[in-house]
C-alpha cells in the first residue's frame, strides 16, 4: 500500500468504483480505492441489475441517462463485459391519474432529450404479452431501460480505473479517519496507514459508520428488499422465439412491482408497503455476502396483484428469492458532495439505484473534486440538502415512507406525513387553530393556506386546481386590497460580523454592499458565472451585516461561505436558524398596521422602500426590512423566537378593523408570480447565468472584483444562451407545476421552471427558460406549454402584470 495519495476512496461497490474511474478520467491519477472485503461485497453483488432514466428530478434523470450511456465506453476501455440487455421498459398506468403522471413524465423527457412513447394498454400488451390488459389504462415506453450484470459492471469500472492509474486495495478495512491541520486525512486501515489529501465515503451499507468516524450522523438507512426469480416460463420462451428478442422491463405501479426477463424466466421485485429497515442503528462490520431471510408474507399483497395483472406469473415456479439490504436517504436520492464543516471529506452514498445513477454520481463528484464544481445541477442529490433536523429517527421514518411510496404518485400539492411535525415555531398551534394547512419547509412546519371556518383544512391531492384554489385567491385579494400577515420563519437568516465582513461579502456578491440602515438584493455566482445564491443583505452596523436567503440552501450556502472565509479571523458567520423568526405584513394598509404598533415614524419618507431598522413593535424588540416578496407595500419583521407569539397577537389586534388576513406560502408564491419575481432552486439555479436569469440590475460589474465577475462580463457581452421569460398560459383547470416543455413552431425549445395561478390578476402564469433568440417573440400565443399532455397557447409578457412600475412597493 502507498503511504500517500491524493484521494482515498473508501468502498469498492459500484459507486466507489465509478468515483475512482471518473477521478482518473478527470486527470487525477494518484488515487486509491480501499475495500474491506472484495469488490461488490456490499449491496452491489445481489442487485437485480435493472437501469432506467425515470426520476422525479429532471437533473437526476439526466445523470441517469449519462450512466446508461456510459456502459459501452466502459466495456471498450476495460474489455470487461457489463452483461448489457437493452430491452426497453414499460411503465404501466392503472388509473387516469397515473396516466396523467406518465404524460407529465413523457413531456419532461422531451426537453431532456430522452426517448419515451405513450401507449394504449393494447399497444403495451403487444410488447409485453404477459399483461392482462383490462387492469391498465395505458403505458409509457422508455427505450433506455435495461439490465446488466452488477459484478461485471463494477469490475469494468474498476479495471478502467486501474488502466487510468488508480490502485485498489482489497481485504483492507478502514478503521479510523484522523484529520490533519492542513485539511488532509490519515486513513487508518487494518493493513497500515495512508495519508490522503481527500477522502471519499463510498461505504454503501456502511456509509453511516464511516460518517461516524468523522463525527457525522448521515441521514442514510438500509432497507430489506426482495426479488424473486422464476423457473423457465413457456410464455417467455415462446415470445423470444417468435420475436427474436427479450421481453421489455415493466413497472406495475398499482402492484408495486418491477419485472424483467432473466434467462427464460422472469425477475419480479417489490417495493412493499410493509417494508422493513435493516440494521437501523449499526451495520455489523462482519456482514459479508450473506443474504437475508426472505419473507413472502410481507410481499404477498403485491404478488397477489401481480398474479392478477400478469396471469402467467401465477403459474410460474419460483427458482430463488433474494432478500438483500441497500441504502436510501430520506427522499430516496443520493447524498453526494463535500460535507459542510469538514475539509476534503466527500460523500457518494445512499445511492439506491447504483446501476442507473452510479455513473452520474461518479462524474459529478469527480468534477467537483477536480474543478471545484460538479459541472451541472446536482442539487437533488447534494448532501447539503438535509439539515440537522434529519436525525436518525427522522431518517428511519422518512426512508420507510419513501420506500413504501416508491411506486406511488406524489401529487404537486401533496405533503407527506412521516416524521412531522419535526420543527415548529411558537405559532404552530395558533396557526392550526386559524385553519392553517401546514407544509414542510426544510423540516419546519409552515402554513400553506388557511381554511375558513366550516371548511376542512386539508388538501385534496390533484394535478389540477384543487380545493385550496378559492381560499388562496381570497388570501391574495386580502393582501392586495388591504393587509395580510404571514410567517416567514422558514427563510434562511445569517449574520456576518467583524472588520473583514464588508470586503468578504463584496468579494462573494455581485451587488454593492448597502449603506448602514439599507438593504440590497444580490445574487452570488460561482467562478463560472452561474447562480449559486440570491440574497437580501442589510447593513445593520459598521461591522455587522444581516442576510436572508433560501431556507433549503442553508447548508449549501454555509459550505460556500466557510470555504471562502479569510484565514485571518476577521469575519465571523452565524446561521440563525430558528434563533430568529419572523412575520411579514403586506398590502396597501400594512403601513397603518405598523404605525399603530410603534411610536417611531414609519411614514413613506421616514422609512423608505429597502430600509432596514431596529425598533420595538408592540413592545417587542425587532428588526424590520421594508420589503416583501409579495411585491406590495410591506415589511418583514424579525424577532427572537420568544417574542413571535406576542408579535403576532399585536399585529392581529392592530389590523383587525382593517380586515387583516392570514396568508400562507401558496398565496405568497402566487403574489410573486404576478410580479415576475423568480424563486431560488426554480428559476435561479447553478445551471443559469445571472443575465440569463434576468438579474441584470443586481450585477454591478464596475464595483470591486467578485467571484464570477469575468464570466458574468462575458455573459453580458453575449455569451449567455438562455433567457428567463414569464408567460401567460391559456390554461383550463390545471396550471403549470414546473418542468413542462415549452414549444415554439412545433418544436420543444425550452422548459418551465415554475408557475401557477396568479389570483389577483386572474391569469395562469409560467416562468421558464428559452434560447435567447426566442425571448423577443411576444406575439400572442407564439409559444405552447404542455400541461398534462395538452399543448396550451402561451404568450411572453415583458412586464409584470401587477404594478409594472413598482409603485406599490414604494408607496
Q: Note the residues at the interface with ligand FAD (CB under 6 A).
A: 10-16, 34-37, 41-44, 46-51, 173-174, 202-206, 210, 225, 227, 322, 324-326, 351-356
Cα 212 from Cα 205, distance rounded (Å) = 13
Cα 794 from Cα 739, distance rounded (Å) = 15
Cα 747 from Cα 736, distance rounded (Å) = 19
Q: How far is the CB of 317 from ligand FAD (least distance, A)?
A: 20
Cα 431 from Cα 441, distance rounded (Å) = 15
Phi, psi at residue 657, to the nearest 5°?
Answer: -75, -10
Cα 216 from Cα 383, distance rounded (Å) = 12
Q: How far is the CB of 227 from ligand FAD (least distance, A)?
A: 6
Q: Judged by CB, which is closer to ligand FAD: 250, or 436?
A: 250
Q: Judged by CB, which is closer to ligand FAD: 326, or 643?
A: 326
Phi, psi at residue 740, to the nearest 5°?
Answer: -80, 145
Cα 679 from Cα 765, distance rounded (Å) = 14
Q: How far is the CB of 86 from ligand FAD (least distance, A)?
A: 14
Report which of 536, 561, 533 is spatially closest to residue 548, judged by C-alpha positions: 536
Q: How far is the CB of 142 from ligand FAD (least distance, A)?
A: 14
Q: How far is the CB of 219 from ligand FAD (least distance, A)?
A: 15
Report which of 155, 221, 179, 614 is spatially closest to residue 392, judged by C-alpha positions: 221
Cα 280 from Cα 573, distance rounded (Å) = 35
Check: CB of residue 485 under 8 Å from CB of residue 648: yes
CA neighbours closer than 13 Å in the CB half-sphere of residue 728? 17
Q: Judged by CB, which is closer to ligand FAD: 322, or 432?
A: 322
Q: Which secondary-structure segment (H or E) carries 187?
A: strand 185-189
Q: How far is the CB of 316 from ligand FAD (least distance, A)?
A: 19
Q: Judged by CB, which is closer to ligand FAD: 41, or 676?
A: 41
Q: Judged by CB, which is closer to ligand FAD: 225, or 709?
A: 225
Check: CB of residue 733 under 8 Å from CB of residue 545: no
Q: Judged by CB, which is closer to ligand FAD: 70, or 210?
A: 210
Q: How far is the CB of 55 from ligand FAD (least distance, A)?
A: 12
Report which of 552, 547, 553 is spatially closest to residue 574, judged by C-alpha positions: 547
Phi, psi at residue 770, to the nearest 5°?
Answer: -135, 160
Q: Judged by CB, which is closer to ligand FAD: 19, or 305?
A: 19
Q: Judged by CB, which is closer to ligand FAD: 355, or 386?
A: 355
Q: Judged by CB, which is closer to ligand FAD: 194, or 436?
A: 194
Cα 231 from Cα 319, distance rounded (Å) = 5
CA 529 to the chain's CA centroid: 21
Q: Judged by CB, which is closer to ligand FAD: 179, or 793?
A: 179
Cβ-based burial of 181 (10 A; exposed 0-12, middle 13-18, buried ≥19): exposed
Q: How far is the CB of 627 from ligand FAD (least distance, A)?
A: 45
Q: How far is the CB of 17 from ligand FAD (least distance, A)?
A: 7
Q: How far is the CB of 444 from ligand FAD (least distance, A)?
A: 30
Amino acid at each position: 500500500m502507498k503511504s500517500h495519495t491524493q484521494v482515498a476512496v473508501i468502498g469498492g461497490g459500484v459507486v466507489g468504483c465509478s468515483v475512482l474511474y471518473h477521478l482518473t478520467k478527470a486527470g487525477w491519477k494518484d488515487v486509491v480505492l480501499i475495500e474491506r472485503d472484495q469488490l461488490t461485497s456490499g449491496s452491489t453483488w445481489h442487485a437485480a441489475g435493472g437501469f432506467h432514466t425515470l426520476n422525479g428530478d429532471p437533473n437526476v434523470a439526466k445523470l441517469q441517462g449519462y450512466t446508461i450511456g456510459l456502459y459501452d465506453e466502459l466495456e471498450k476501455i476495460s474489455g470487461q463485459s457489463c452483461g448489457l440487455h437493452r430491452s426497453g421498459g414499460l411503465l404501466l398506468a392503472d388509473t387516469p391519474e397515473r396516466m396523467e403522471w406518465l404524460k407529465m413524465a413523457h413531456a419532461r423527457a422531451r426537453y431532456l432529450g430522452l426517448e419515451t412513447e405513450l401507449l394504449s394498454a393494447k399497444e403495451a400488451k403487444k410488447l409485453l404479452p404477459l399483461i392482462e390488459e383490462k387492469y391498465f389504462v395505458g403505458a409509457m415506453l422508455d427505450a433506455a431501460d435495461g439490465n446488466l450484470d452488477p459484478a461485471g459492471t463494477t469490475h469494468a469500472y474498476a479495471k478502467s480505473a486501474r488502466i487510468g492509474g488508480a490502485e485498489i486495495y482489497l481485504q483492507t478495512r478502514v478503521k479510523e479517519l484522523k484529520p490533519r491541520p492542513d485539511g488532509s486525512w490519515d486513513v487508518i486501515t487494518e493493513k497500515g496507514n495512508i495519508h490522503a489529501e481527500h477522502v471519499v465515503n463510498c461505504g454503501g451499507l456502511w456509509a453511516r459508520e464511516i460518517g461516524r468516524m468523522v463525527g457525522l450522523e448521515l441521514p442514510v438507512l438500509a432497507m430489506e428488499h426482495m426479488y424473486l426469480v422464476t423457473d423457465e416460463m413457456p410464455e417467455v420462451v415462446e415470445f423470444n422465439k417468435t420475436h427474436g428478442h427479450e421481453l421489455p422491463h415493466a413497472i406495475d405501479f398499482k402492484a408495486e412491482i418491477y419485472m424483467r426477463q432473466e434467462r427464460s424466466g422472469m425477475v419480479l421485485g417489490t417495493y412493499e408497503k410493509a417494508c422493513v429497515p435493516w440494521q437501523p442503528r449499526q451495520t455489523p462490520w462482519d456482514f459479508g455476502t450473506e443474504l437475508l431471510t426472505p419473507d413472502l408474507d410481507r410481499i404477498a399483497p403485491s404478488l397477489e396483484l401481480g398474479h392478477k395483472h400478469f396471469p402467467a406469473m401465477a403459474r410460474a415456479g419460483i427458482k430463488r428469492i433474494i432478500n438483500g439490504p441497500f441504502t436510501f436517504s430520506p427522499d430516496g436520492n443520493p447524498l453526494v458532495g463535500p460535507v459542510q464543516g469538514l475539509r476534503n471529506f466527500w460523500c457518494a452514498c445512499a445511492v439506491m439505484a447504483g446501476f442507473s445513477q452510479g455513473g452520474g454520481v461518479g462524474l459529478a463528484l469527480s468534477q467537483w473534486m477536480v474543478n471545484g464544481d460538479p459541472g451541472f445541477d446536482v442539487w437533488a442529490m447534494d448532501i447539503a440538502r438535509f439539515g440537522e433536523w434529519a436525525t436518525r429517527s427522522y431518517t428511519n421514518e422518512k426512508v420507510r415512507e419513501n420506500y413504501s411510496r416508491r411506486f406511488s404518485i406524489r401529487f404537486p400539492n401533496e405533503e407527506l406525513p412521516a416524521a412531522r411535525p419535526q420543527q415548529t415555531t411558537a405559532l404552530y398551534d395558533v396557526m392550526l387553530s386559524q385553519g392553517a394547512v401546514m407544509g414542510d419547509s426544510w423540516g419546519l412546519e409552515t402554513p400553506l393556506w388557511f381554511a375558513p371556518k366550516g371548511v376542512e383544512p386539508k388538501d385534496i391531492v390533484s394535478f389540477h386546481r384543487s380545493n385550496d384554489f378559492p381560499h388562496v385567491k381570497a388570501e391574495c385579494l386580502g393582501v392586495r386590497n388591504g393587509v395580510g400577515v404571514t410567517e416567514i420563519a422558514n427563510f434562511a437568516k445569517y449574520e456576518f460580523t467583524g472588520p473583514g465582513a464588508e470586503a468578504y461579502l463584496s468579494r462573494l456578491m455581485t451587488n454593492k454592499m448597502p449603506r448602514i440602515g439599507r438593504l440590497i438584493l444580490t445574487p452570488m455566482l460561482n467562478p463560472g458565472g452561474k447562480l449559486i445564491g440570491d440574497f437580501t443583505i442589510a447593513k445593520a452596523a459598521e461591522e455587522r451585516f444581516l442576510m436572508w436567503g433560501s431556507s433549503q440552501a442553508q447548508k449549501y450556502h454555509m459550505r460556500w461561505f466557510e470555504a471562502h472565509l479569510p484565514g485571518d479571523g476577521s469575519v465571523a458567520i452565524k446561521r440563525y436558524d430558528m434563533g430568529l423568526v419572523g412575520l411579514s405584513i403586506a398590502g396597501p394598509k400594512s403601513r397603518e398596521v405598523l404605525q399603530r404598533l410603534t411610536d417611531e415614524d414609519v411614514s413613506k419618507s421616514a422609512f423608505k422602500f429597502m430600509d432596514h431598522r431596529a425598533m420595538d413593535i408592540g413592545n417587542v424588540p425587532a428588526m424590520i426590512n421594508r420589503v416583501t416578496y409579495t411585491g406590495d407595500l410591506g415589511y418583514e419583521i424579525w424577532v427572537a423566537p420568544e417574542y413571535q407569539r406576542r408579535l403576532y397577537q399585536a399585529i392581529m389586534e392592530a389590523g383587525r378593523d382593517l380586515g387583516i388576513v392570514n396568508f400562507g406560502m401558496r398565496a405568497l408564491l402566487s403574489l410573486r408570480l404576478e410580479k415576475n419575481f423568480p424563486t431560488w432552486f426554480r428559476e435561479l439555479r447553478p445551471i443559469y447565468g445571472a443575465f440569463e436569469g434576468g438579474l441584470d440590475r443586481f450585477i454591478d460589474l464596475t464595483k470591486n472584483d467578485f467571484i464570477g465577475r469575468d464570466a458574468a462580463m462575458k455573459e453580458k457581452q453575449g455569451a449567455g444562451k438562455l433567457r428567463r421569460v414569464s408567460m401567460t398560459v391559456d390554461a383550463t383547470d390545471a396550471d403549470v407545476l414546473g418542468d413542462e416543455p415549452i414549444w415554439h413552431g412545433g418544436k420543444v425549445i425550452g422548459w418551465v421552471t415554475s408557475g401557477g395561478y396568479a389570483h389577483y390578476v386572474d391569469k395562469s402564469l409560467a416562468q421558464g427558460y428559452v434560447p435567447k433568440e426566442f425571448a423577443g417573440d411576444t406575439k400572442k400565443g407564439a409559444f405552447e406549454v404542455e400541461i398534462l399532455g395538452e399543448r396550451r397557447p402561451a404568450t411572453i409578457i415583458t412586464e409584470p402584470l401587477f404594478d409594472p412600475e413598482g409603485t406599490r412597493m414604494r408607496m
